[in-house]
Structure 1
Amino acid sequence: MAAITLKKIRKSYGEIRVIHDIDLDIASGEFLVLVGPSGCGKSTLLRMIAGLEDISGGDLAIAGSKVNTLSPSERNIAMVFQDYALYPHMTVEDNLSFGLKMRGTTQDEIGRRVENAANVLKIKDFLKRRPAQLSGGQRQRVAMGRAIVREPAAFLFDEPLSNLDAALRVEMRLEIAKLHNRMKATTIYVTHDQVEAMTLADRIAVMNAGVVEQIGKPLDLYHKPASLFVARFIGSPTMNTIDASFGEGNTITVLGCPIDAMEHAGERRATSAVFGIRPEDLISCSPEEAWFSGEVAVAERLGSQTYAYVEIGDTRMLTVELPRDADISVGEKIHLTGHPGSIHLFDKSTGRRLN
């Protein structure tokens, strides 16, 4: 497998720049996920790595060699697309072997690689079928198998599960994780689904408007988001965020309530702040202990947990995670508090994390 290095990578369409000086070092054997909303540039960046988009500036290296001007076939990478891109008139076996035949690989070697991929992905019984005779999950396995037989330096995945239903997405997510654990291949995976990112990645790069907002291990991004954008994007349901101001002593004032914020006491240089707390860090309490009090507007019972959406005053709605058997109903008054260590503070003007 091979390391991949991006230095000041840029992409422009005429005067419009869509990728802004991105630096990334992806270690050999690492599983890196590029995650972000539609239009953030993650698929464009992946296609630049693959050689399907020209690089407007910067350097791209695979296994230590600069590849900016190399064609896709010369980069020794394999890509799995969102729409499978299988040849409908060919059998599964022919789809797997076609690229190898075009490269002049010997028949014995083709047979070995196809058999290995079929065993790894459990598609051996489908080798004589055509794509139309397969389910969506089976077609995606074939698309992955076509990448595996290449034995490339790196695998690139462009939202490969977005066309599958919820149950199949979970199944295929597990298959991709097991495949990576078995092959230890350098992998770059693009998705807009933060659950896929959190469960698959060694590291996540969160993208926004053509820049990398933050890169790190999944739980590092979850517990210490570097910006409001990351805080709101990583985590489901999203983090509660509320405008706040610095009060007396070591407190911050949120919706009129003073909250102890000792660990953020040195951040008063920020002229205005945004208070953040995750739904699972809010807990029910007595009225005397409450940071916030309001009425339950909606209660969602999902089996494993219950989410309550609580109206605070006329304009603010907070999400709180409750025990799955919580005895709560719409219209009920609820009082909420949290631990000071669960507070996140952001500079309102820049969106960057304080402390």
Structure 2
Amino acid sequence: MSAIALKAIRKDYGSVNVIKRIDLEIASGEFVVLVGPSGCGKSTLLRMIAGLEEITAGDLVIGGRSVGHLPPAERNIAMVFQDYALYPHMSVEDNMAFGLKMRNADPSAIAEKVKAASAILKLDPFLARLPAQLSGGQRQRVAMGRAIVRDPDAFLFDEPLSNLDAALRVEMRLEIAKLHRRIKATTVYVTHDQVEAMTLADRIVVMNGGNMEQVGAPLDLYHRPQTLFVAKFIGSPTMNTLDCDVVAGGDGHLRLRLPIGEVDVPLPDAPRALERVTLGIRSEDLEVCSSEAAWFTGELSVVERLGSQIFGYIDIGRDRMMTVEFPRTSTVHVGERISVAGRGERVHLFNSSDGRRIN
């Protein structure tokens, strides 16, 4: 049975429709990440699950109950916010216990649950401290502990790491992954950071303009994006894309005209009527080659040396840059003229008219 089911969920603000129609089932114990650009509707969708936003139409089912009409307190969910939302005058222990006390839970049961959550999150040395005496990462762990003691049907995370510095984000991302593996809680997590999405999620929901653009396992979205939007959004650096004319089709391939020369792309079910497509290729699938074999040639405008990776940005004209991943021992320099090519079987093709993948 699905732990959370969203059935034809829609959200309007007056005459403005911000969530078009969402149909999504989340399995018990699954970690689902909602990701997308600002304004795509991911936080609004999470807040509707939490009960902080009214649902305009559709049905929301949590734990087998229809809860769309219920207030947040009656949905048996726990939410971890971006800004921690801790009570500054209460100790860590009291912050974690407060929700259970408000429900008149048995004091011995409260103490037991707080002790167990504290042990999981390594908060025992800090139980007597106030939030102001904690680091950002420690405060976020307290907020997570407050959610754990509730024993909810689902955990909701609203960009919980965006206020932390880079090192703490990595640390807390590992903590959240270990926590989920240990307690196997159903989790819905909102972020704009695709590294968090790729490393935490069982499934990713890519949102765009109030719609679900694609739903799938992280590597499925990376290797087989179903739309041009997903192809360019998932992956860092973004996928290289270029509009190309179709020179010939049929017989299990398409021949495309590139800035230099032509390339055959294997495509068993190639539509014969195509005249123009958008070619996509990842930076790691391009390699330096001779000018005679090149797909693209241009001046190396920027080089990013990241230690384990080196990325170069080649100006191929027409106000276009192509990103190439070089071997980490590479000695390329800005200003060099570089020729690169890939392999036809590593190319992604999209319909230029609607951005849908050509399978």
CA distance in 2, matches of 1:47, 1:141: 21
**Take 2:122 and 2:90, find their aligned partners in 1: how far apart are those partners?**
19
Q: CA RMSD in A?
A: 1.2
> SS in structure 2 opposite 1:12?
strand
Q: Does 1:13 align with 2:13?
A: yes
Residue in 2 that maps onto 1:350? 354
Answer yes or no: is 1:326 the counterpart of 2:335.
Answer: no
Partner deviation per Cα, 1:216-267 (whole Å, 9 max, x = no partner): 0000000010111100100000000111111135311122531111216613
Q: 1:330 to 1:265 in 2, by over 3 A?
A: farther
Match of 1:64 in 2: 64
Task: With the length of structure 1 as denominator, give the TM-score of the two structures.
Answer: 0.98
Question: Letter of the aligned partner of 1:247 in structure 2?
Answer: V
Matches within 5 A, 1:1-355: 3-249=3-249, 250-263=254-267, 266-355=270-359
Q: Distance between the aligned counterparts of 1:332 and 1:19, measured in 2?
A: 47
Q: Name the aligned partner's letter for residue 107 of structure 2.
A: Q
**Structure 2 residue matching 1:331: 3-state secondary structure:** coil
Write the distance in 2 (CA, Å) between the matches of 1:123 and 1:77.
22
* Secondary structure, counterpart of 1:142 in structure 2: helix
* TM-score in terms of structure 2 length: 0.97
Deviates more, 1:258-267 or 1:79-88: 258-267
Unmatched runs of 5 consecutive residues or more in structure 2: none
Name the count of aligned residue pairs. Answer: 355
**In 2: Cα distance, 1:262 partner to 1:112 partner:** 61
Q: Secondary structure at the match of 2:138?
A: helix
What CA distance in whole angstroms lies between the structure 2 residues aligned with 1:164 and 1:112?
A: 30
> How far apart are the structure 1 equivalents of 2:324 and 2:268?
23
Paired letter, 2:333 = S
Report the residue type matching 1:217 in the other structure: A
Bigger mean CA deviation after superposition, 247-256 or 34-43? 247-256
- Following the alignment from structure 1 to structure 2, what is the Cα–Cα distance between the partners of residues 242 and 186? 40
Structure 1 vs Structure 2: percent identity of aligned residues? 65
| 1:245 and 1:253 in contact (8 A); partners too | yes
Question: Per-residue CA shift, 1:45-95, capped at 9, x if unaligned?
Answer: 000001111100011101221111011111110000000000001000110
Whole-Å separation in 1 of the counterparts to 2:179 and 2:271: 45
Q: Partners in 2 of 1:246 and 1:221 — Cα distance?
A: 26
Contact between 2:2 and 2:25, CA under 8 Å: does it hold in 1?
no
| Rounded Cα–Cα distance in structure 2 between residues aligned with 1:234 and 1:86 | 33
The answer (yes or no) to whether the contact 2:266–2:345 under 8 Å persists in 1 is no
Which contiguous aligned blocks of 4+ residues in structure 1 show a shift greater than 6 angstroms?
Answer: none
Shift of 1:128: 0.4
The one-letter code sitting in structure 1 at the alignment partner of 2:64 is G
